[in-house]
């Protein structure tokens, strides 16, 4: 199983394939988990979700950008997404990756790009979530978040339960709106739990702590064991529905997404769109090789 995971992780980081895939259009079954390549297609998908009582967090796909021009282009696209949310009155907010906005190029350059995005979103009272990437980007992403939080309150981030430092980070940022996840990247054993049981146990512990002591909590998982545990926990501790939401990725466990929304829980779907879909898609295959079923189905049901 680990060999399969490593294989898809390796593919997700392949620069040549990442670059080439931008010219392919959505292929390999990615169309089942990516909501189109244009703003119009994304808006249409979100309108459908909103009609089902589900909100959205929009990811204009892109990461590991090494050219200033590309980062500025990404910023422009995200500003257009913010305009689209406002114009179409979508129940949606933004998710973005700091490396897409130039974190690997220059810290200050990235900070200013993010400031422009957060400031515009603030004008429209739209929330912006910083996705968390691999360990090498963790601290600078938190640093930018802290700097911007001095001026803007419409930002939050992600705590990845596989990191040993996650508990400390959760305590430090408990007054931010946080999404808590297991963690999607391959991380070294000196920094992160490697065993699923250990990651799951830490995940539950972090969620419980933030539900009891933190601001709004987004519980982002497809794991029904975790979801059932949370439902029992909030019931036992009289935690109101307004304190938390569940999140899942677009195209995954749609029936469960709808079931939770229909039961009155806040539900938010993570909606990725755009040409830069390849790395995102390969990480989903690495997480759960059964997701290959989606690919096969998509390939044969044209
Ligand atoms: P897993 O541990 O993958 O699965 C646990 C169990 O759940 C499985 O054994 C199975 O029984 C069930 N299950 C899981 N998937 C399915 C399915 N598709 N169909 C049926 N049963 C299923 N990671 C980051 O590192 N940074 C981020 O910023 C980030 N943001 C995220 C945002 C959202 C909205 C989500 C949902 C995930 C995000 N992730 C992020 C990814 C996350 O860290 C995990 O890698 C990913 O969610 C897989 O873990 P899991 O909790 O969903 O369940």
Helix (H) or strand (E) holding 21: helix 15-21
Q: Whose CA is nearest to atom 51 of ligand 1?
A: 221
Q: Quote the distance between the C-alpha of residue 153 and its chain's center.
A: 19
* CATH code (residue 173): 3.20.20.220
Predicted confidence at residue 24, as pLDDT, reads: 64
Res 28: pLDDT: 66
Instruction: Give the start-end residues of each E strand in the chain.
Output: 55-60, 92-96, 128-130, 155-160, 177-181, 217-220, 244-249, 267-273
Question: Residue 211: what pLDDT?
Answer: 97
86 occurs within a structural domain: yes
Nearest CA to ligand 1 atom 47: 221
With respect to residue 261, please indicate whether it lies within any of the assigned structural domains: yes
pLDDT at 289: 63
The parts of the chain modelled with pLDDT lower than 70 are 1, 8, 11, 16-21, 23-29, 287-302
Active-site residue numbers?
131, 179
Q: Which of 146, 218, 152, 220 is closest to 182 using CA atoms?
A: 220
Q: Is 119 exposed, middle or buried (0-12, 13-18, 19+ CB in 10 A)?
A: middle
What is the model's pLDDT at position 277? Answer: 77
What 8-state DSSP symbol labels residue 163?
B
Inside any domain, residue 23? no
Residue 87, domain member (yes or no): yes
The answer to whether position 17 is within a domain reads no
| Residue 27: per-residue pLDDT | 62
pLDDT tens, residue by residue, 19-76: 666 766 666 667 788 898 899 999 999 999 999 999 999 999 987 788 999 999 999 9
Q: Which of 184, 191, 196 to mutate to test the pocket of ligand 1 (most atoms within 8 A of CB)?
A: 184
105 assigned to some structural domain: yes
Shortest-distance Cα residue to atom 35 of ligand 1:
220
- Please count the structural domains in the chain: 1
Domain that holds residue 260: 35-276
pLDDT at 301: 43
Q: Does the residue 289 lie in any domain?
A: no
Predicted complex ipTM: 0.98
Q: Is residue 2 part of a domain?
A: no
Contacts of 137 (CB under 8 A, 6+ apart): 98, 99, 103, 104
Ligand 1 in contact with 132 (CB < 6 A)?
yes
Tell me how far the alpha carbon of residue 32 lies from the centroid of ligand 1, in angstroms.
16
> Residue 107 has which token pair?
């810290």
Closest CA to 269 of 153, 95, 75: 95
Q: Cβ(132)–Cβ(99) under 8 Å?
A: no
- Bridging pattern class, strands 244-249 and 177-181: unpaired
- How far does the centroid of ligand 1 lie from the alpha carbon of residue 285, in Å? 11
């Amino acid at each position: 199983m680990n060999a399969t995971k490593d294989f898809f992780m390796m593919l997700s980081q392949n620069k040549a394939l990442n670059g080439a895939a931008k010219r392919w259009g959505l292929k390999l079954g990615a169309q089942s988990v990516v909501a189109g390549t244009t703003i119009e297609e994304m808006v249409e998908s979100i309108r459908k979700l909103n009609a089902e009582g589900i909100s959205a967090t929009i990811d204009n796909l892109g990461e590991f950008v090494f050219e200033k021009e590309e980062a500025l282009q990404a910023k422009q696209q995200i500003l257009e997404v913010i305009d689209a949310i406002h114009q179409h009155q979508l129940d949606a907010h933004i998710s973005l990756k700091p490396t897409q906005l130039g974190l690997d190029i220059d810290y200050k350059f990235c900070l200013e790009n993010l400031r422009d995005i957060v400031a515009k979103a603030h004008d429209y009272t739209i929330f912006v979530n910083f996705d968390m990437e691999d360990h090498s980007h963790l601290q600078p992403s938190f640093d930018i978040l802290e700097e911007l939080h001095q001026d803007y309150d419409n930002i939050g981030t992600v705590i990845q339960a596989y990191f040993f430092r996650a508990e400390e980070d959760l305590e430090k940022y408990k007054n931010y709106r946080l999404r808590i996840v297991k963690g999607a990247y391959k991380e070294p054993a000196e920094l992160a739990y490697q065993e699923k049981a250990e990651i799951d146990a830490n995940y539950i512990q972090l969620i419980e702590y933030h539900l009891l002591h933190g601001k709004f909590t987004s519980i982002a998982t497809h794991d029904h064991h975790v979801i059932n545990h949370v439902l029992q926990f909030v019931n036992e501790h009289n935690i109101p529905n307004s304190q938390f939401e569940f999140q899942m990725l677009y195209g995954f466990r749609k029936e469960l997404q709808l079931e939770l929304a229909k039961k009155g829980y806040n539900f938010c779907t993570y909606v990725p769109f755009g040409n830069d879909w390849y790395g995102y898609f390969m990480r989903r295959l690495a997480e759960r090789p059964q997701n290959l079923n989606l690919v096969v189905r998509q390939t044969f049901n044209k």
